[in-house]
């Protein structure tokens, strides 16, 4: 699959003979990372910048729906009814509400160790014009804190790990920033190669271990960040964010007539960096290292490092709203490991099984998981 094109996939039906239908021991472990972690991080071929005048501009438009109240439609979604509500209802036949399907989800979760993976922007917090103001509500923070007390919970975001932790502020979680290229977890039972794992020097985090498979790219990312700030400073509304192992160029507040200019300037910079590649999300262009690592790899890493991979008694659930979350959805679907839940108020194709409309529904789902866990424990 071309990583720079919209994801197209038909959800496979739940197979009662798959791992999703087998229930064994419970509850989840609360320890740290495993000693027996054995990972290799393959490098991709050097990147090639796409034709930014055609394909990339179309991709920027298709991945950037206009703001409410109008409902936007993904260009890849066929046969759109004239009525927006009808279109969304039709789409939900394919991606049913995780709230309305809660009994089905918990039926397959019974007797399993549930593991939660959460995106941040658009999932735990609303999408806002200024990315520095993407604050989660106190109610959402309480919901995440409570669910993390019941199940191992990780936040996997395109933001820098430090920025996500600043927004969330909960020590009960595992954090993976830069699309999973910067992971922090408890040091218990951890052994890993020195070039990608190191103890934190911060006294408050001295018991944590940082896993960074793209650490060699840091100097390059810094140079590109500086160059992108310089080349976009004259474009009104452009915002360049340093997410440590990737650089995000936000164009949410840029007039659409200037999108071509942004794409071309970013592309011109990247021509000098063949070891970096360009992807896009919701009104953001993202520069990343050319390594075979993404949110799906981060999910696999966390499951393996926590001793929860290759087990029939584990049910991972990943909740996210962006195209970068599709890598994680695909890992769970292809491996018949668990459920992806897409957060979207507009129809679009996905590897997810279920859907939630917005962060408020995500919060309801998290609260429902806590209630179900408490009721299950009292039986």
Tens of pLDDT, residue by residue over 253-281, are 999 999 999 999 999 999 999 999 998 88
pLDDT in tens, the chain (379 residues): 333 333 323 333 334 344 454 332 223 334 555 544 555 555 555 554 444 545 555 666 555 554 443 334 344 444 444 567 889 999 999 999 999 999 999 999 999 999 999 999 999 999 998 999 999 999 999 999 999 999 999 999 999 999 999 999 999 999 999 999 999 876 443 333 333 444 454 444 445 678 999 999 999 999 999 999 999 999 999 999 999 999 999 999 999 999 999 999 999 999 999 999 998 888 899 999 999 999 999 999 999 988 999 999 999 999 999 999 999 999 999 999 999 999 999 999 999 999 999 999 999 999 999 999 999 874 4
Task: Give the pair of three-digit tokens for residue 136.
Answer: 């989660």
Q: What is the pLDDT of residue 236?
A: 96
Quote the CA–CA distance of 42 and 303 in Å, as a whole number: 19
| Token pair 């962006």 in the structure block, residue | 322
* d(C-alpha 15, C-alpha 343), whole Å: 23
Give me the pLDDT at residue 282, please. 83
Whole-angstrom distance, CA of residue 204 vs CA of residue 182: 18
pLDDT (0 to 100) of residue 55: 59
Q: Which pLDDT score is estimated for 333? A: 97
Tell me if 298 sits within 8 A of 265, measured CB to CB.
Answer: no
d(CA 92, CA 89): 5
Q: 27: cis peptide before it, omega within 30°?
A: yes
Q: Tell me: the pLDDT tens digits for 33-43?
A: 554 455 555 55
pLDDT of 68: 40
Instruction: Give the span between the Cα atoms of 121 and 362, in whole angstroms.
Output: 12
**Token code pair at residue 8:** 């197209």
SS (H, E, C) 66-79: CCCCCCCCCCCCCC
| pLDDT score of 83 | 66
pLDDT score at 280: 84
Range list of β-strands (E), 23-152: 113-118
The pTM is what? 0.76
């Amino acid at each position: 699959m071309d990583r720079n094109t919209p994801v197209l996939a038909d959800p496979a039906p739940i197979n009662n003979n798959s791992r999703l239908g087998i229930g064994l021991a419970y509850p989840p472990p609360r320890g740290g990372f495993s000693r027996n972690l054995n990972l290799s991080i393959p490098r991709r071929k050097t990147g090639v910048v796409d034709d930014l005048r055609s394909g990339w501009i179309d991709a920027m438009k298709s991945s950037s729906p206009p703001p409410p109240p109008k409902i936007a439609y993904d260009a890849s979604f066929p046969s759109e009814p004239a009525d927006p509500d009808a279109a969304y209802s039709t789409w939900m036949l394919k991606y049913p509400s995780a709230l309305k399907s809660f009994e089905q989800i918990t039926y397959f979760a019974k007797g399993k160790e549930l593991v939660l993976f959460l995106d941040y922007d658009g999932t735990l917090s609303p999408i806002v014009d200024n990315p520095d103001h993407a604050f989660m509500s106190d109610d959402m923070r309480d919901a995440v804190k409570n669910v993390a007390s019941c199940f191992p919970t990780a936040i996997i975001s395109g933001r820098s790990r430090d920025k996500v932790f600043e927004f969330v502020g909960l020590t009960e979680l595992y954090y993976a920033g830069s699309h999973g290229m910067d992971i922090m977890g408890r040091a218990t039972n951890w052994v890993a190669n020195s070039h990608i794992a190191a103890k934190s020097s911060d006294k408050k985090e001295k018991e944590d271990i940082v896993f960074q498979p793209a650490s060699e790219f840091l100097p390059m990312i810094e140079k590109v960040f500086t160059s992108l700030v310089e080349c976009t400073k004259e474009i009104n509304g452009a915002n360049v964010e340093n997410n440590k192992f990737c650089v995000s160029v936000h164009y949410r507040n840029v007039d659409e007539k200037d999108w071509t200019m942004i794409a071309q300037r970013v592309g011109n910079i990247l021509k000098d960096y063949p070891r970096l590649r360009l992807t896009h999300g919701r009104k953001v262009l993202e520069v990343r290292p050319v390594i075979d690592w993404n949110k799906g790899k981060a999910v696999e890493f966390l499951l393996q490092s926590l001793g929860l991979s290759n087990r029939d008694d584990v049910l991972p659930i990943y909740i996210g709203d962006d195209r970068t979350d599709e890598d994680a959805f695909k890992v769970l679907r292809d491996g018949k490991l668990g459920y992806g839940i897409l957060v979207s108020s507009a129809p679009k194709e996905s590897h997810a099984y279920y859907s939630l409309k917005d962060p408020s529904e995500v919060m309801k789902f998290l609260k429902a998981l806590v209630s179900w866990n408490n009721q299950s424990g009292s039986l």
